[in-house]
Amino acid sequence: MGSSAQLPGVPITPSPQGPSRLAAHVRNYAWGSRHAIATLQGREAPTLPEAELWFGAHEAGPATLEHPGGDVPLDAAIAADPDALLGPDTAARFGGRLPFLLKLLAAARPLSIQVHPDAAAAASGFAAEERAAVPRRHPDRCFPDPWPKPELLRAVTPFAALCGFRAVERTLDLLDDLTLPGAGWVEQALREGGDAALPQVVERLLRLATAPRRELLEGLRGALAPTGGQRPAWGRTREHIAALHATYPDDPGVLVALLLELHELSPGQALEVAPGTPHAYLGGVGVEVMAASDNVLRGGLTTKRVDTHGFVAALDPGAMPVGRTRTHQIGPGHHRHATGSPYFALHEYRDAPDATASHRLDPASAAIVLCLEGQVTLSHAETTAALTAGYAAFLPARATPCRLHVEGTAIVATAGDHHLDGYPMGV
């Protein structure tokens, strides 16, 4: 892998010798917020809702590397000098590509109910859409890249999500609590088939004809109305399903949501979402780290394209909720969120009375450092990058070790250190 690669039309800029600030790529989706990210960053509210800030090198929205020799897209900088920026091992493992994408996400409204493909499905789906000549930026494209998309979400504010199929016994208990008219076939299918019946139940719900779909949704609206007789155990689930129903009153995705486990995260808690896991983020601000992919198969709760066949085919009926991920303390003020992904690792540094404010960063690969609160300073040799809340910097592999000074909270994303067996790397 040579170090003189150049993207067409992009001049070669000397690669950074130390940490450099990143200007995020902004995604203005309708479910985003006009206030949350702007407030975090201490600036005026934008005209359009800001849903996601992308700090990464994905070709659909690379961040911009602020460089004395001229600002350059991060993917172009990496392509020009992959060994120096990623580290030789990471460059070899991932084909000269930054393997992870870090996002700051603000959901003022629920996101679609969706699932991400595993590596084999991503590669085959990408190849099929390439053969069909579907433009990679086309709204009907489900596989703009050939990479899987495991992800982890760390809550910045209280964050609600539906994630993973609920245990069948508990779903039957919920349906019993709702006494939902017309749902007898769902209960029968789950009692007889257990977890294995879940994809078939999901597909039938999504493909209901207009009249039975509306009848079932109208029955659900009535069943969700508070009467004082419901069991407290299902109170929060009822509230969130009712909010989905109010937003999408004619969408069968609301019915599928009845099968998913509710997670309400406090700030600092995290949820890991493996490929094949159905999920819908309901609201809040969070940090996401994921394999560098934009592949999404949607089943409902959206105005975007719904691919019922692809969504159902990608479902893992064993994708039960994993719950909140554990964190491991590495040292004073330094924690790591547990994940088995080879694509990413997520570290967190906080100042505290019993913690040092200065840390040595020495990852084996490139890192992206995001300040969540307070101020963070990265120092290497004669280069310094200072960050305030909501802003990030890129730390090239050649610039490690580096000193990280934290007066608040910093998130550090790097490539994972797990072995790649069982993780095809795309095409």
Active site residues: 298
The distance in angstroms from the start CA to the end CA of the chain is 17
- Residue type, position 203, single letter: E
The single-letter code of the amino acid at 119 is: A
Query: Residue 297: what residue type?
Result: L
**What is the DSSP-derived secondary structure letter of residue 170?**
H
Cβ contact 295:145 at 8 Å: yes
Q: Which two tokens stand for residue 220?
A: 């659900």
DSSP readout, 226-263? --S-S-GGGHHHHHHHHHHHHHSTT-THHHHHTTEEEE
CA angle 378, 380, 383 (to 5 degrees): 85
Please answer whether residues 132 and 270 qualify as being in contact, where contact means their C-beta atoms are separated by less than 8 angstroms. Answer: no
Give the H or E element holding residue 231.
none
Task: Measure Cα distances from 125 to 27, 294, 341, 353, 359 in Å.
Answer: 24, 13, 21, 50, 42
Report d(CA 394, CA 15) in Å as an integer.
11
Of 240, 221, 328, 233, which Cα lies nearest the Cα of 283? 240
Question: What's the token pair of residue 68?
Answer: 């004395």
Q: Distance (Å, rounded) from C-alpha 365 to C-alpha 89?
A: 8
Contact 217, 258 (CB under 8 A): no
As a residue count, the chain comes to 427
- Any bridge partners for residue 22, and if so which? 65, 392
Q: Which amino acid is at 69?
A: G
